[in-house]
Structure formats: C-alpha cells, structure tokens
Amino acid sequence: MKKALLLVVVLVVNMAPGFAVADDKKIIAINTGNTSLVLMANNQGKVFHKYFGASLDKPEEILNCLPYDPRRYETFEACSTFGNENKHEVALKVRHADGNMTTDLRYQSHRQTRIDGNVTETRILLKDDHYPFLVTLIYRAHRDEDIITSRISIENKEDGTIVLEKFASADLVLSSGEYWLSHFYGSWSGEMQMEEERIGKGIRIIDSKKGIRTTQSENSAFLLSMDQPSREEQGEVIGGALAWSGNYQLCFEIDSRNTLHLTAGMNPFGSDYHVDPGETFDTPPFIFSYSDRGKGQISRNFHRWARKYSLRDGDKPRPVVLNSWEGAYFTFDEDTITKMITDAASMGVEMFVLDDGWFANKYPRNNDKAGLGDWQVNKKKLPHGIDYLIDHAEKEGIKFGIWVEPEMVNPKSELAENHPEWIVQSAHRKPILMRNQLLLDLSNPAVCEFVFEVVDDLLTKHPRIAYIKWDANRHVQNFGSTYLPADRQSHLWIDYTRGLYSVYERLMDRHPDVIFQVCSSGGGRVDFGSLAYHHEFWASDNTDAFTRIFMQWNTTHIYPPMAMGAHVSASPNHQTGNSSPLKTRFDVAMSGRLGVELQPSHMTDEELDFAKKAIAEYKRIRDVVQLGDLYRLISPYKENRAALMYVTEKKDRAVVFAYTTQYHIRQDYPTVKLRGLSPEKTYLVEEINTRSTSKVFNGSGKTFSGNYLMNHGMQLKIRKSNETACLELTEKR
C-alpha cells in the first residue's frame, strides 16, 4: 500500500510543470508572468539556486552548460546551512539533538500545486543526510503581480530537542556588475527616509533588534538595482520585504567573485529557538519581485499584490477619517468631542476616531504618565460613556473609531499593580521606561488573553465601533520574561510577535467588519507581517506637508498608498513648525488615504469651506488613488519639485499630483510628462482643489490625447514654495 502511494507522489512530481531532469539533475522552475526563479537539484541531491530574473522560456537549458568546476561554483544552496561547503552567511544554522552543529540537506521530493488561476505553490522537501531533520522550502508564485514569496518550514523528527540558531525565510543569489541598495531608515517623526548606496564587498546588514516597533528606524523592505542606481522606469531592480513584525535581518553579502548572496528572515540575534521532537517551526514569508522596467514596476507589483493578497479588504476604498490627536491631544471632555464629531461630519468626514486620553479612572489618562493598561472609560471626561459618542456620530451620519495601546502599561496603573509579572522585565535590573511606559509580555498566553479581551470587550460592548487605531509606543528593552523558563528566555523575541499575531487573528475572526489601523508612534510597524491583519498604517506622526512629500514618496516604493494614512493637520505644523497653505496640505494628503488631524473649530469659515470641497473631490477620485496604479513622475530627490499620478486599470481615469519643494520664481515650471495612460484615449483634464478660478494648467477643462500627455506633457504654472496642483483626468468617448 505504501509503495503504491509513493508511486503516485513520484508521478505527480515528474509531471509537475517547470520540472526537467537530465543526467540525474533536476531543474525546478518557479515562474510568474514575467520572471523565473530557477533551482537545480544535482545528482547528490543538493539543491542550488541557479537563476532569478526575467522569464526563462527553457530553464532546462541551464543543464547544458553547468560550471566547469561544480565544487567551486555550486556553493549557493537554495537553503544554505552551516557546516558544509558554504563559506558565506548561511540561511539555516541548527544544533541537532546530539550537539552536532552542522546540517547537510538533500533533496527528497518536490511538488507544484496550482492554488488558483494566478498562484502556484512549489514545495521542496529536503532532509538532513544523517538526521531525521526536515526542511520544506515553500515558494508561492503570483503570475499577474510578478511576486514570489518564500518561507521555510522546519520539522524536528530527532529524538531530542534541537536549537535553531539561524532561520532565514529566503536565500537568493544574484549576479551583476554593481549592486545599488535603496533602504528606508528613520526615527520617530522621520520614518521611511530613503537612501541609495552602492554596496561593496563584504556584508551589509539591515536589521532590527527592537523586538517591536521594528520599522521605526530601519524598514524591513528594500530595493536592489543592478549595475546602476535605480531608475523609475528602466533597469533591472529587485524589491524585497519581510512579512514579520519582530526582529528581522536582511543580509547582503558580496563575495570575491562579485556574486551577491541575500538571506532574509527573522533576526537570529539573541533568539536561539528550541524545537522539541515532533514540532515544526515556520518562518514568515519574504516577498520579492524582479523587474527589468525599473523600480516603478516593482512598486506597482507590490501594490497590486498587497491589495489582493496581504492587506485586509484591499479591494475596498477606505473612509475619510478625522483623528482627534493633534486637534485635542489629552485635553478634552464630552463637549469637545461631540463638537469635533459635528464639525467633522459637516466637512464630509466619514469616520471620527477618538485618540488617546479617553480611559482610566484611578490613574486617569490625562497625559502619558498614567493610566495605560486600565481600559475603562474615564468617567470625568466622558460621563455618558462611549455609546453616547457613537450615538452622536451616527446622528451626524458618520462612524466612530477609537484608539487603543493594549500591549503597554504605565507603572502608574491598576494593571501594573495587579499584574507586575505580566511586564517584560530583566531580573535584578532597574526597569527602563520609555514614554513612561513598559511592555506587556505577549510570550505569555495569559497576557495574550488579556490583550485580546481588552479589544474584544470594547468591540463587543460597543458593536458600533467601526475602527480601531492600535498603537505601540515603545520597543523591547528590559529583556526577559517571568513566563518563559530559564533555558528559553531567548524565545521572547519570536514568541512575542507570534502571541501578538494570534491575538490579531482572533480579533479578525470575531470582528471582521471593523477597520484596523496599525500605528507604532507613527510608522513603527509598517511591514507586511502586521499589514496582513490591518487595513492601513499610520505613516508617521509627522504630518507636515513638506516632509510628507518625501516620506510618502519613499513609502510608496513598497507599501500600497491606499493603506498609507495621510492627514491634513494644523499650520504651522506641530512637529516641524513649517507653515503651508491648506490646499498644499490637502494636495499632499490626498495622494494617500486622506484624513484630517486638527481641531475644526480652529479653522476659519473659508478654510472649512475649502476642506469640505476638497474632501468631496477626494471621495470622487479616491478609487483611482486607492485602487489605481501609481506612476512616480518627478522625484523630489532629483529636482525641487515632485509629481506622481494614479491610473485606473482600465486607463479611463487618472489623477496627477504636482508639488514644489522650493521656489522657481524666474524659471518656468518645467513640463510634467505623464505615464500609464492609453495613447489612443482622449482625456478631459480638470484641475481640482482650486481656491479660486486661477488655474496652474491653462489646458484645464480641455481634452488631450494620452499620446500628447505622455509625450509632450503638461506645463504647470507652479512657482512658489508650497504651491501644488491636483488634476483629474477622465476619458472622453
């Protein structure tokens, strides 16, 4: 019986598409619409990475010219391990049950399965040459989006516990003359700054050791341009991003032959992980894409993929939000909030979000020094409770959302008094506070249960809450868990994130219609790990339009604009002190998921009127911005202006945004050539968000062919700092 079963499996394997055998060597091709990742198993069962790039029609041709000296060149395994020929940073390092630190993986079988018309999964089973230690390489190829995801699953069938010391999700090899890395660094209020550098020989590591809020300083996504600095629409570029919200490590190693070896995965830093017999360990997906048409195509690939396969409800346009934070901070009462709701509704806002400061009684949350952890409505500020506010919002015709930070605790709180053991803490050390708060230990299931209940109770008791802003305002320090045993303290990093994901999952199941925003002091959790459980992210606490031109420009390189919370706030800006006209602030915020973050009662009637019109215009164009394809036209890093546009899939509608970052007094504002339109189609071009009848484009209200707009382009009369334009294009039949 067993034999028959085995035969069937082998047949399936041999019939699999993208599979060829010659001289006992097997080629395994993982194809998307325009790209191929090719692996080869040699006659000793070693599986090597052979190629990643534009589609190979006949990947088996690789077998016709194998390296002269395989021992010298065949060192790039599809999952490189410590302890054999590998001379570089490896993907997998394991201490086996008997203490042996080496691993030697051999091909067992592989299977390619069509998940649906667009996605094919390839699973390659490897086994250690000696130990009952199994590794499955799992790739998913998304045909239309040209995206591949890679992860591994490790199974311990040994008779004792093994310890994982490195466990990357992906192991890729690239070959080029030069490698130009664009990465995204930053800090609070300055997340996602983009820097491009040529990487030299040796190792360049991008990582986080912060445990949570891991993308505040370095994002876990990157672009790698081959041979030259990246360009928007030309050249070979690879984009990559790890879907993990804990510590991560991206390791780029260029060897003496100028081959680049990339491992990407959870950071092994202080994270030795024990896997008991019979247990498996799964790594998070690494998402990557190749384009020979520049980084613009990489971004479009990521956005399309994210809308379809990552982001929650990625096909549904997001509501316009007014968030109370910058308009009220901690200082509000019921009247402040109900008035804000009324004003928000009259502006056309669709969702009011009550930010920090609404909870705790024994230690009221009137500033960031107390109350965190005590999730009961503050009776003094809001004597009639949350439902009263929801009733008011609904009466005004808008929805209601609320801020939570359930993973955290102020020492001055009832929670800290009742459950000191739930706090992440180092034995014998003084706790280090950050924003006066400490972190709860989500490696502990009891704490996960508490965090789940905080949010579940809120949503169950107030089922009309339509939106949750989930914040996390510190990272891991005070490393240590009172829950984990002494020999498994190093599990804290990984188990924390797994615990958090399990909470998210349960909440998603119980409250599928609630919109979730991920925030971590701004953009501290912008990664595809958390985005899988959220609808959007708060890009930064920095809401200054000038800074946002750059920050949003950078963010869109990987992350979908529909998820990028972009709010119009007061001028001068609270973070930077910069002043900018309301139109500028709207034109910048409208290129993402538009929201408002100010006190409407501080606005003049003229401003309120402008805001009302701008919000109405945004609602008309939002499906183009949120669901369309992005084309970045003029980089603010190359000129003192910027332009970008969105085009629908049908190419029947488009929206163009143009900004200045400095004055151009005596110069004409140079031409903006559009992209992504259909050359044959005719478009009506209309400038929107205008304060008066004066137009920056004297062709506004007229029709133009796509051919004209893309080749000749449009001249926009924008000369002074802070001047901006927003134009809507509609196909005229």
Residue from 158, 471, 687, 723 in contact with ligand GLA (CB under 6 A):
471
Contact residues for 127 (Cβ-Cβ < 8 A; gap 6+): 105, 106, 108, 133, 134, 135
CB of 519 to ligand GLA, least distance (A): 5
Q: Which range of residues in 21-29, 36-44, 481-489, 518-526 is near ligand GLA by CB under 6 A? A: 518-526
Quick check: 410 binds ligand GLA (CB under 6 A)? no
Q: Please, are residues 37 and 51 in contact by the beta-carbon 8 Å criterion?
A: yes
CA–CA separation, 448 vs 189, rounded Å? 29
Catalytic one of 146, 495, 541, 629: 541
For position 590 contacting ligand GLA by CB under 6 A, the verdict is no
In 3D space, the residue among 354, 731, 378, 347 whose CA is nearest the CA of residue 568 turns out to be 347
537: amino acid identity, one letter? F
Residue 185, C-beta contacts closer than 8 angstroms, at least 6 positions apart: 193, 195, 217, 218, 219
The radius of gyration computed from the CA coordinates of the chain, to the nearest angstrom, equals: 27
The single residue of 171, 471, 527, 629 carrying the catalytic annotation is: 471
* Nearer to ligand GLA among residue 265 and residue 327 (C-beta): 327
Select the span of 202-210, 276-284, 379-387, 519-527 touching ligand GLA (CB under 6 A): 519-527
| 559 near ligand GLA (CB under 6 A) | no
When binding is defined by CB under 6 A, the residue of 74, 171, 232, 356 that contacts ligand GLA is 356
**Token pair of 356, please?**
């920090």
Q: How far apart are CA 208 and CA 321, in angstroms?
A: 31
Question: Are the CB atoms for 134 and 158 separated by under 8 Å?
Answer: no
Q: To which residue do tokens 């109370």 refer? A: 324
Residue 144 catalytic? no
Residue count, binding to ligand GLA (CB under 6 A)? 11
Q: In angstroms, give the least distance from the CB of 471 to ligand GLA.
A: 5
Closest residue to ligand GLA, judged by C-beta, is 356
Residue 564 near ligand GLA by CB under 6 A: no
Among 171, 174, 204, smallest CA distance to 283 is for: 171
Are the C-beta atoms of residues 587 and 568 closer than 8 Å to each other? no
Give the nearer residue to ligand GLA in terms of CB position, either 367 or 700. 367
Q: ∠17-22-26 over CA atoms, to 5°? A: 50
CA–CA gap between residue 650 and residue 613 (Å, rounded): 27
Q: Give whichever of 169 and 473 is closer to ligand GLA, judged by the CB atom.
A: 473
Considering the rule CB under 6 A, would residue 519 count as an interface residue with ligand GLA? Answer: yes
Least distance from ligand GLA to the Cβ atom of residue 535, Å = 16
The least distance separating ligand GLA from the CB of residue 356, rounded to whole angstroms, comes to 3
Applying CB under 6 A, which of residues 521, 552, 555, 599 lies at the interface with ligand GLA? 521
Give the Cα separation of 710 and 648 in Å (integer).
Answer: 16
Compute the CA torsion angle 45, 51, 54, 58 (nearest 10 deg): -50
Select the residue interacting with ligand GLA from 182, 473, 554, 580 (CB under 6 A): 473
For residues 702, 704, 709 and 714, what is the CA-based torsion angle, rounded to 10 degrees? -20
Between residues 332 and 610, which has the closer beta carbon with respect to ligand GLA? Answer: 332
- Least distance (Å) between residue 437 CB and ligand GLA: 10
Instruction: Tell me which of 77, 232, 350, 355 binds ligand GLA, using CB under 6 A.
Output: 355
- The answer to whether 403 contacts ligand GLA (rule: CB under 6 A) is yes
Minimum Å gap between C-beta 344 and ligand GLA is 17
Question: Could you say whether residue 523 binds ligand GLA (CB under 6 A)?
Answer: no
Q: Does 191 bind ligand GLA (CB under 6 A)?
A: no
Any idea of the CA torsion for 56, 58, 60, 61, to the nearest 10 degrees? Answer: -90
| Site track 277-316 with ligand GLA (rule: CB under 6 A), x = hit | ----------------------------------------
Candidates 132-140, 292-300, 514-522, 652-660 — which segment interacts with ligand GLA by CB under 6 A?
514-522
Is the alpha carbon torsion for 264, 268, 271, 274 positive or negative? positive
Q: Is 629 in the site for ligand GLA (CB under 6 A)?
A: no
Q: Which is nearer to ligand GLA, 183 or 474 (CB)?
A: 474
399, 467 Cβ separation under 8 angstroms:
yes
In whole angstroms, the minimum distance from the beta carbon of 492 to ligand GLA comes to 24
Q: Does 352 bind ligand GLA (CB under 6 A)?
A: no
Whole-number Å distance between alpha carbons of 71 and 86: 11
Residue 120 vs 517, nearer CB to ligand GLA: 517
Taking CB under 6 A as the rule, does residue 584 contact ligand GLA?
Answer: no
Decide: is 599 part of the binding site for ligand GLA (CB under 6 A).
Answer: no
Distance CA 663, CA 582 (A): 18
H or E segment to which residue 551 belongs:
helix 545-555
Residues 380 and 363: their CA atoms lie apart, in Å, by 12
Which one among 371, 522, 560, 636 touches ligand GLA, defined by CB under 6 A?
Answer: 522
Instruction: Tell me if residue 648 falls in helix, strand or coil.
Output: coil
By beta-carbon proximity to ligand GLA, the closer residue of 263 and 521 is: 521
CA dist., res. 470 & res. 538, Å (int): 10
Shortest CB 373 distance to ligand GLA, Å: 14
In the complex with ligand GLA, the residue whose CB is nearer, 139 or 538, is 538
Question: Rounded to whole angstroms, how far apart are CA atoms 435 and 88?
Answer: 41
Select 38 or 545, whichever has its Cβ closest to ligand GLA. Answer: 545
Q: Is 457 annotated as catalytic?
A: no
Give the x/- contact pattern for ligand GLA in 71-110, rule: CB under 6 A.
Answer: ----------------------------------------
Strand pairing class (35-41; 47-54): antiparallel
Q: How far is the CB of 341 from ligand GLA (least distance, A)?
A: 18
The full DSSP string for 70-131 is HHHHTT-BTT-BTTSS--S--SEEEE-TTS-----EEEEEEEEEE-SSSEEEEEEEEEESSS
For position 541 contacting ligand GLA by CB under 6 A, the verdict is: yes
Residue 580 makes CB contacts below 8 A (sequence gap 6+) with: 544, 545, 546, 571, 573, 722
Residues annotated as part of the active site: 471, 541
**Site residues (vs ligand GLA, CB under 6 A):** 325, 355-356, 403, 471, 473, 519, 521-522, 538, 541
